[in-house]
Structure 1
Amino acid sequence: MQGIILGIGRLAALCRAIPRSGAMAVAACLAMAGASLGASSLVSPAAVQAQGTAPSVLRGHVGVASCAGSTCHGRSVADGAVVRQDELMRWQEDSSPSGAHSRAWRVIQEPRGQAIVRRMGLDAAGIQRECAGCHASPGSSRPSDGVDCEACHGASGGWLSTHYTVGASHARNVAQGMTDLTRPQVKAQVCLDCHFSGDAKGQFIAHRIMAAGHPRISFELDLFTTLQQHHDEDADYVQRKGGKTNSMRMWAVGQAEAVKRSLELYSQPARAMDGIFPEFTFYDCHSCHRRIYDSEDGNVTAVRNPGRPVDLGTPPYNDENMIMLLAAARVVAPDAAATFDARAKAFHKAMLANRAETVAAAQALRQSADALSSRFASASFTREQTFAIMDSIASDAIGERYTDYEGAVQSVMAVDTLLNGLVNQGMVAPGSANGLRVQINQAYAAVRDPNGFQPLAFRRALGSAVRSIRSLR
């Protein structure tokens, strides 16, 4: 796995101004959690004619071939006047994370995918039921296309024939059915369906699927956006879309929406239980997957977490996104941070009582996360705020909650994302940020192996990285 991590990390580092090898490394390990590691064959412009029916008369899902013309998104070079026009080629790029969506279906036929299929005892119908919800596009008649354009941009039957005409605008495209991915909350909901878990058929990543060999779930909106970016945010993009993407805002909203999604799914009895057992996908893997000692000199590796008022022997809810959300709230919405923190603790504690109290606490916590998501969506995320959030992530008050692997991984991805966002916004010079790569990679090294995770050593590595970043202020 480490070889895969490092290889994908190096490729993904090309996506942004700062090499993000560590962030991409973590993401690559988790990327198959939905539609991230698969493949399809190349689409030629001739395939448009083979499609038969003119796209302009269709409604609903139209298909990749409708985008593949050489005057549209099917060029082999990025020399379009408005958009790159090589988007199909980038979507299909086998050697890059930017082509992961197009490869989504093929991964099921590859050795790891087939091993999962065998362990789960799936036949063809079972694969459709359990896998197609994320490894193919809803409404598509060609699952081999994997996760195609319309999976993210919305079924194009209502807007395909007009989105490139004279007078077309992003607002008009959205009004005709295009998904507005410039809005962080909208984008998060689209991505969460497969990269976290969704409520549609084949989109819920249960513990039994991970036990069969599927990668564990992790999600960070801005990082996953980077992996799949097919466009340049040039002056024309800024004019058409109403501004450049604010990576810091994207990250923060993504954390809030992930908390909301987790609590929404957990509140459904059919999702929260697996027979008489809890559905363990909601819980922190590392809290249970530890070495067992029976001898009197056994070494207890669990560390108490002040954010979870539960006993060490109680499986705790996976709170990785809650920790990040609290760190951001303390800076951007300090008046709401204390309420969110109190409700998070109440939610953990309610699990020691009964399900009714736990669901009620989950709904209260979800309301706080929703309010923070709205606050973040309209916040500016200034240079000073972004540095303060990184300080918050590494502070003693937040750092003492990195008792398990998942929260620690989120914190490193967050620091990397936020620093990269400062560069993209022109608030930090690329050269200055690149000079801190060694310290950031040391923090990544501390979460390279989930089985060797050591909370105290990790906190020291993260603190060192943030102290180095602080010098840029």
Structure 2
Amino acid sequence: HSTPAGARGPRFLAQDGVGCEGCHGAASGWIATHYAVGATHAANVVNGMTALDRPQVRAGVCLDCHFGSARPGQFVDHRMMAAGHPRVSFELDLFSTMQAHHNEDADYARRKGRTDSLKLWAVGQASAVERALTLYSSAKGSEGAFPEFYFFDCQSCHRRIYDQAERSKTWEANPGRPIPAGMPPFNDENMIMLSAAARVIAPGLAGRFDADSRAFHAALARDRPAAIAAGTRLAASARALADAFGAAAINGDMAFTLVAEVAGGAIAPRFTDYEGSVQAVMAVDTLLNSLVKSGRITIGAAAGIRADVNRAYAAVHEPNAYRPADFRAALASAARSIGALR
């Protein structure tokens, strides 16, 4: 989380924990102008400040610590998770909102513009997919004779098992993952959200991404070389979507369409697992907040349907109590309530 060794000043102390430079970059070149009257954000960036107002730049910085990178000490492997590290999940706009240390007042808007929550969410999903597949295709993708299980869906293996005579099915076939029953699925929570975002924001790339996604899951059932090749193609598709989202003229009304898409007939059948469902309810909440921020709906109207959104959260509150059909029903109810405010 800290400043890279090559950029540390003489007073750097690792025990200080996460500091400003962990996100904003080494400050020796811009700290003075940062406070100067008449200074501009563009000038600070030229002097070395990390341009966190750019969605893809912010996603890269956040993913390094909140998903992992190839650099030493920045990858949470399965052994660390076995020792107690929490499950890793990434959603850029929600995380940014929770971590924000300033208000977007008039001065902020004048210098940098308002944060586009919808674009931030979409770019974050694409960047997370690309990062996961890039790391999986590297040396970090295996652990001895086994795959690195960090990349796979935790709940597909870690579930309550009872010694009983009757067979108790605890999984559902997933139309987005053509893999044999009993095989651990790659964690595709961000892939599912990215598929929904592509359909609304970059429909010309949606078919390619979905085809590459299915091909990657199918390759996992063959061998690692095939999975790496398919993963490389899928990462390129995700990168293309991140570029398209970054350049797109996204409008606030797209959030309504995205909520309907996430809970709609093409995407909802893929919510067969706990992790993807958690990502879906975070997305619906993020998109609802973006509608408030963009003035499409009022704070009061959003508060009026909060109970519907909270029911979707309740459906993923406890992993061992997760029921796919119950979650899909709760998500659909929340989506209908948001759609009624359009």
Corresponding position of 1:61: 8
- Summarize deviations over 1:286-344 as a string: whole Å, max 9, x none: 11112335544121111000100001211110000000000111111111111100100
Are 2:186 and 1:317 equivalent residues in the alignment?
yes
Corresponding position of 1:385: 254
- Summarize deviations over 1:167-216 as a string: whole Å, max 9, x none: 42111110110000000100010011111112211110111111111101
Are 2:311 and 1:364 equivalent residues in the alignment?
no
Corresponding position of 1:182: 53
For the residues of structure 2 that align with 1:412 and 1:377, how far apart are their CA atoms? 23
- Summarize deviations over 1:355-412 as a string: whole Å, max 9, x none: 1111111111111101110111122332331111110100122111111111000000
Corresponding position of 2:117: 247
Corresponding position of 1:337: 206
Question: Which residue type is aligned with residue 335 of structure 2?
Answer: V
Are 2:81 and 1:210 equivalent residues in the alignment?
yes
Question: Which residue type is aligned with residue 93 of structure 2?
Answer: D
User: Where in structure 1 are there 5+ consecutive unaligned residues?
Assistant: 1-33, 36-58, 64-139
For the residues of structure 2 that align with 1:472 and 1:324, how far apart are their CA atoms? 22
Query: For 1:397, what is the secondary structure of its paired residue?
Result: coil
Corresponding position of 2:147: 278
Corresponding position of 1:442: 311
After TM superposition, list the pairs within 5 Å mapping 1:55-454 onto structure 2.
60-62=7-9, 141-241=12-112, 243-268=113-138, 270-293=139-162, 295-454=164-323
For the residues of structure 2 that align with 1:156 and 1:365, how far apart are their CA atoms? 36
Query: For 2:270, what is the secondary structure of its paired residue?
Result: coil
Question: Which residue type is aligned with residue 60 of structure 1?
Answer: A
For the residues of structure 1 that align with 2:164 and 2:310, how far apart are their CA atoms? 37
Q: What TM-score results when the alignment is normalised by the length of structure 1?
A: 0.70
Question: Which residue type is aligned with residue 220 of structure 1?
Answer: E
Contact preservation (8 Å) 1:62, 1:156:
no
Contact preservation (8 Å) 1:249, 1:380:
no
Contact preservation (8 Å) 2:141, 2:147:
yes
Contact preservation (8 Å) 2:253, 2:296:
no
For the residues of structure 2 that align with 1:278 and 1:222, how far apart are their CA atoms? 30
Shift of residue 228, structure 1, vs aligned partner:
1.1
User: Where in structure 2 are there 5+ consecutive unaligned residues?
Assistant: none
Query: For 2:187, what is the secondary structure of its paired residue?
Result: coil
For the residues of structure 1 that align with 2:270 and 2:182, how far apart are their CA atoms? 17
Identity %: 56
- Computing the radius of gyration from Cα coordinates, the structure with the larger value is 1
Which deviates more, 371-380 or 146-155? 371-380
Corresponding position of 2:325: 456
CA-atom RMSD, angstroms? 1.5
For the residues of structure 2 that align with 1:399 and 1:285, how far apart are their CA atoms? 20
Query: For 2:204, what is the secondary structure of its paired residue?
Result: helix
- Summarize deviations over 1:416-449 as a string: whole Å, max 9, x none: 0011011111221111111111000000000000
After TM superposition, list the pairs within 5 Å mapping 1:32-71 onto structure 2.
60-62=7-9
Question: Which residue type is aligned with residue 308 of structure 1?
Answer: R
For the residues of structure 2 that align with 1:238 and 1:62, how far apart are their CA atoms? 32
Corresponding position of 1:115: none
Shift of residue 62, structure 1, vs aligned partner:
4.3
For the residues of structure 2 that align with 1:213 and 1:451, how far apart are their CA atoms? 17
Query: For 2:172, what is the secondary structure of its paired residue?
Result: coil
Aligned mate of 1:469, from 335, 338, 341: 338
Corresponding position of 1:122: none
